[in-house]
Amino acid sequence: MHAFHQTLLPSSSIHHSLFLPNFTPSTIYPLPKPISTNVNSITNNDNDSDNEDLDHVKVIGNLIVAGGENLRVFEIREFIEYPQQQQQQQINYNQIKHEDGDNDNENRDQDEDMEEGEERLGDGFFDDGHSKREPVKYEIRRKLHLLAQHELNGTITGLSALRTIESSVDGLDRLLVSFEHAKMALLEWSRGAISTVSLHTYERCSQMISGDLQTYVPMLRTDPLSRLAVLSLPEDSLAVLPVLQEQSELDFIEGYARDVPYSPSFVLSLSDVSPNLKNMKDLLFLSGFHSPTLALLYSPIHTWSGRYQSVKDNFCLEIRTIDLSSGGTYPLLTSVKGLPSDSLYLVSCPSELGGIVLITSTGIVHIDQSGRTVGTAINSWWGYSTNLKNSDTTGQSENSKILELDGSKCLFVNQRDMLLFLQNGQTHQVRFEMDGRNVGQIKIDQSTSSSTTTTKIPPPSSVVITGDKSLFIASAEGDSLLAKINEERDIIPQNGDTQDDGAKNESKPKDDMDVDWDEDLYGEMTDTANSGLVNGHKAEATGPVSLSVSTYDVLEGVGKIMDIEFGIAATDQGTRTYPQLVAISGGSKSSTLNVFRRGIPITKRRRFNELSSSDAVWFLPIDRQSGPRFKDIPESERTTMLFSTERNATRVFALSNKANPEQIGRIDGKTLNVAPFFQRSCVMHVTPNEVTLLNDNGKPIQVVCPKSGLAPITSASISDPYLAIRRSDGSVSFFVGDTVARTISEVSLAEEGAETPKCQVIEVFSDTTGIYRTFEPSRSSGTVELNGKASTSRSNAIKQGQQSKMQLTQQQIKRLQDQEPAISIDKSSSLEHTMNSFRGTQWLSYLTKKGELQIRSLPDLKVVLQTQGLGSSAPTFTDDLVESQLREEEEIDDEVKQMVFCPIGKGSVRPHLLALHESGRLNAYEAQPRFTVDSSSQTRRSLAVRFRKVHTQLLPITGGVSINKLPYNIIPFENIEGITGAFITGEKPHWIISSESHPLRTYALKQAAMAFGKTTHLGGKGEYFIRIEDGSFICYLPPTLNTDFAIPCDRYDMDRVYTNIAFDPTSAHYVGASSITVPFQAYDEEGEIQLGPEGENLLPPTNQRSTLELFSQGSDPWRVIDGYDFDQNEEVLCLESVTLESPGTEGGYRDFIAVGTGFNFGEDRATRGNTYIFEIVETVGSGGQATGSGWILRLRAKDPARNPVSAISHINGYLLNSNGPKLYVKGFDDDQQLMGLAFLDVQIYVTSIKVFKNFILISDINKSFWFVALQEDPYKLTTISKDLQPVSPVVTDFLVHEGQLTFISNDREGHMRMLDFDPTDPDSLNGERVLLRTEYHTGAPVTTSKVIARRKTAEEEFAPQTQIIYATADGALTTLVSVKSARFKRLQLVSDQLVRNAQHVAGLNPKAFRTVQNDLLPKPLSKGILDGQLLSNFALQPLNRQKEMMRQIGTDAVTVASDLAALGGFW
């Protein structure tokens, strides 16, 4: 059997983060300024120019985050937020509305009826505002803006920053990434994407082949001046990569490529430097040294807490300089011995403070360059673990410091203050008080989270400073936080005066001699009305700084998934609605319940029977006096007219706030497009035969394009005041309207002496984001001058770059900005342009029959972009063609059916280009700003935009393109619950939406959609109309729905940590097992309590105690309505919904909740466990009504066990549970007790039990798995076969495909193994052992799995195959499905082509990443499981490359895309 592995939900855990000041050009060059769509901006241009700097968004740097195989690049954007801006805009809007609707007499009456004390507006030429103006209040905010996201072919183990020689030329930083198996890749940002500079591999060195890989922890470090990069290897070795920073170093190297920015790397064994350097714990580079200087933390001898009486303080610190210029010497600068045995990691100190900070589990130690140590304790275990002196001897008991630094992260935020982030979410400030030039004392303040109660600090996995007074807290368990650092200082009174003394002096009368003339002018110094101003200057705060953090932005993530469960949502009345998948994420502090849905639900508000047969609808915001008016909806979004086309007729409706619309007209013919025209006063209506301008009542005013003998119109694009139409023969016509004269005229698109080109599609669009800009053309003489400068600018820039190697200076930024061509500024002053300025810039785009995309600026119709990238489905394209480069006309296999330019996003939108092909292929390109030109020979204005493909998929078409009865159509929409995007109607409709910090997503609907349109006529901002198979409805988006992930979900933050979840199908309720951290209590064999060490501020050992909780459903879900508390030290290990025999029920079976627990008594007492059987029952009061919630947990049986019950399941009405090294089959006797029926001796510890019909798979932590069958007469468990290889599976599942059965095993290292049971094979020893067929590396280890039925159609009674859903430790959901042999061979050939021909980020080999190293086999078993991540890159390849690969295989791209679409999804 063959299988297909793919990712349903990409990993969102973050393990590594890095801030780079200048990784992308957007940090050097200013961002495009968005064009205001507010009507008030027309009259306030002068005022807006004064606040130009305040309104502009700027990029302060780049944030790089990585987790598992996922790498993301963000911009940190800083902007101004006005708290009262929305209210002021509404006031201005109401004023404009009243001014338009009132006459002069009403205006005079308003002036007479003004109340006393009311502000009067000035009516002079220079005074147009209030007589008293308050200062504008604003707040500086920062948000994350996603630039790129990549799934790499390797597990990322570290991130670091570098600046090479080329950084002095382009000003950009470089990124160094380390991967599993000792690999390093140098990456840079080039042409709008990540580009690979070099790849360095050390996986074949002796340390990796023969070293101890079990204890190997890779650490990537770079020198602050980018002179050196090191990667730790096993056996206490370092892989050293020298980086060149001067041109002389590059010229000195002989026999090596001159264009690489580094010298040959080498492996350094620390035992050759010093024999004592072993068991390395941490290392880091220090700043301020002439040569690269490395601090090494190591332990020459081992110890543990039981040997503290004899061996304590075994860690050492050495500071060594790496001097490669003298042949490789490593002189010792500082050596410190006797450091605490519980040392964790090192932190480099700022230059003013100097030295290194050592973090231990019991305290903090500062070590200066001379070796002097100063330490402070954070709990009383300090005295047990080290002999170092505690410097903080004052206030130890007052502070009551009981902190736990395991899993903590810390960093310096200024020269003498450090923030400490604990695993439980607490934040503490660490102060370094100086004694002269040395550190005298280290003080730890109380938690700073008390001052920021609204800021929730996640458990940190990485913390990094992100610019001025901000930081990023990455988390592997859920959401990550971009936070602001708040610094507050107290004002220290001078000359010993206090506020009380000042108050006394203020009360004394003053004579003439006491008069201070400065106070007479500027006010009294002690006057509170001066807001702290003293003689016109603010009093300077010189006291100690107090640090706190507040939220800038939250980067949402699922985090580590503990358990998953399929279920069905239910209403308050118990009605089952839709299926859902619940995933528990989190772990150390709290949990989040992620309720995933199979798509965006259609939440119906009311039925719209008037449009029950509509083929397409248009809700238009026409300016009509009788239209509905709502306070919260702007006038430009108030829909007042409705056009509905049905077969060969169109009905026109007038909308109001009434439920039923009023039909005001009927037009013969099918409508192709309708849109507002002439400032929303008219309607432009297009049919296949003519184009007509209608008034606000739907009556014709002017026939723009009358009926003629030309080919019928097939499509039209309208953007006031422009209109473009395309006919069936490919001819196009372009019309321009005059808003003042109310006339429309046709304009030719052809150049002089040429014909109008035949087009596939044509589109007129507007842009308000400001991204669509043009570069000024470069003069011919200027080109020579620019090229002349280019020859010498590189060497000059390298010389200048040595002065500032790590950060650009303002002079360098100015030089880089001057080298690039200027951005064109639209200086049109026509009345037409002024009236339509709030619409943004407008452009005309068309795709010719040759496949050439042209974009022209309006109104001058100048060509600003020519490319063939859209027609060829290129990954990226820009203005890169000239006339001489155009290819000859050739037959296009798959023409573009529809092309839409629309913004997509939530809050901050991004412009996109959506291209829909005849075959159903959908390509989505994001329009990204371009700051530099790729060529210096620009002879005309060039569009400063780069289109990058961000999504592609094949929409299914039943029966082929020729007989498609329900074609697809892209309909853009704006502001549906704050979401702007597009909706695709057709056989398989899709939502296309995005957000600022997440990539573009598409969500499919289960049933066909014939019509769609956004409407606000009922007063709702998030309402839309949709016609589906069930009827026509006004619907709305659920406000709690999260669309940031690949699967839409509802997220619920819980106060506790949950480890397991189960769904009871009878009551439609979920049951969860929570884990509460409690102080550990030790017992002896007789059950007596054992006392441990006693002392003040001792951090007590903790243990987990579980409770079982029943959750509510309906309108108030996930509220705990009942529970059960387990014993002390008892923790839930497994939780399942089981079906057991119950004689009292009608069918003989009943659903129960089975729980397996274990006791943790420590290492001195044997553990045991229990098996519980619960039932969810509904309680009824005396009056026949439910009391309270109506549902409770009832304990039916408790079965003690001598060992932990680690796995549980059910088979044929019997209960299966593990009991240490045994497996039991038990029956539920009279719904009261469990009776043993059969047992089987297994090995050590059962991790999972999976059942398929009468077969059982039992996986063991060390002895792989058993294939077992249950015999009922007599009761007996029979071992059919087993796996004899020593692997450690976490879960083992059945995979079924049309009568074939295979086993899928996943171990703790992330390896997936496919095994078969074949007694006819001689290697199976007559069936006693299963045969290994395939080994496949999945990446992150699997935590749990679920097997579901996979049906081709909903009418199938029996599912022909199964599908396995996996949850991983990195927060990903993956799936495995079986594949037919013919489809597998075809896709396997495609995979081989992609490995050889596709470009992979970081240069990593996808085939090597999936290969599992097995020393027991002569060659890896890599074939048998297809890599879905690799095959997803096929759709991103250009069409010519796809055709070349398919020509070698003997198939076509549509067939491959159909195969991938058939294997996708899981609902």
Over range 1229-1255, report the average pLDDT: 90
* CB of 173 closer than 8 Å to CB of 163: yes
Question: 1110 pLDDT band (50/70/90 cuts)?
Answer: very high
- The pLDDT of residue 116: 42
- The pLDDT of residue 86: 46
- Whether residue 787 has pLDDT greater than 80: no
Q: What is the pLDDT of residues 1273-1290, one digit of tens each?
A: 888 999 999 998 889 999
- The pLDDT of residue 211: 86
Q: For residues 691 and 650, what is the distance between their CA atoms, to the nearest angstrom? A: 14
Q: Alpha carbon of 324 to those of 245, 703, 938, 1439: distances in Å?
A: 14, 82, 46, 49
Question: 230 pLDDT band (50/70/90 cuts)?
Answer: very high
Q: What is the pLDDT of residues 891-941, one digit of tens each?
A: 567 889 999 999 999 988 999 999 999 888 999 999 999 988 766 566 788
DSSP annotation string for 1162-1173 = -TTS---EEEEE
* Best CA proximity match to 762, nearest among 914, 900, 902: 900
Across the chain, mean pLDDT equals 83
Q: What is the pLDDT of residues 364-423, one digit of tens each?
A: 999 998 889 999 998 888 888 888 888 776 554 334 568 889 999 999 999 899 999 999
Instruction: Respond yes or no on whether the N-terminal peptide bond of residue 261 is cis (omega within 30° of 0).
Output: no
- The pLDDT of residue 989: 93
**Least confident segment among 325-339, 828-842, 1097-1111, 1303-1317:** 828-842
- Whether residue 493 has pLDDT greater than 80: no
DSSP annotation string for 905-929 = EESEEEEEEEEEETTSEEEEEEEEE
Chain mean position to CA 732? 42
Question: 1093 pLDDT band (50/70/90 cuts)?
Answer: confident
Question: 499 pLDDT band (50/70/90 cuts)?
Answer: very low
Q: What SS3 string covers 1031-1043?
A: EEEEEECCCCCEC
Question: 57 pLDDT band (50/70/90 cuts)?
Answer: confident
Please tell me the number of Cα atoms within 13 Å of 1219 on its side-chain side: 18
* Best CA proximity match to 1106, nearest among 1078, 1072, 1135, 1130: 1130
- Whether residue 220 has pLDDT greater than 70: yes
Q: What is the pLDDT of residues 236-271, one digit of tens each?
A: 999 999 998 776 655 555 555 556 788 889 999 999
Q: For residues 524 and 517, what is the distance between their CA atoms, to the nearest angstrom? A: 10
Q: For residues 794 and 261, what is the distance between their CA atoms, to the nearest angstrom? A: 14
**Helix axes 1381-1397 and 1453-1463, enclosed angle (nearest 10):** 110
Q: Parallel, antiparallel, or unpaired for β 315-321 and 293-298?
A: antiparallel
Q: How far apart are the first and last CA of the chain?
A: 22
- The pLDDT of residue 542: 63
**Least confident segment among 775-789, 871-885, 1246-1260:** 775-789
- The pLDDT of residue 1351: 80
- By residue count, the chain amounts to 1467
- Whether residue 50 has pLDDT greater than 60: no
Q: Hey, which of 36-45, 536-545, 1238-1247 has the most confident mean pLDDT?
A: 1238-1247
Q: Alpha carbon of 1148 to those of 1018, 1065, 1234: distances in Å?
A: 52, 16, 17
- Whether the predicted model's global pTM rises above the 0.75 cut: yes
- Whether residue 166 has pLDDT greater than 70: yes
**Least confident segment among 728-732, 826-830, 961-965:** 826-830
- Whether residue 779 has pLDDT greater than 80: no
Residues forming beta bridges with residue 1200, ordered by sequence position? 1170
Which of the 8 DSSP states describes residue 1085?
Answer: T
Q: Which two tokens stand for residue 168?
A: 């002095």
Q: For residues 57 and 49, what is the distance between their CA atoms, to the nearest angstrom? A: 15
- Whether residue 424 has pLDDT greater than 90: no
Q: Parallel, antiparallel, or unpaired for β 2-9 and 1425-1427?
A: parallel
Which element (helix H / strand E) includes 1446?
Answer: helix 1439-1449
Contacts of 442 (CB under 8 A, 6+ apart): 364, 366, 374, 375, 376, 391, 392, 430, 431, 432, 433
Over range 476-503, report the average pLDDT: 72
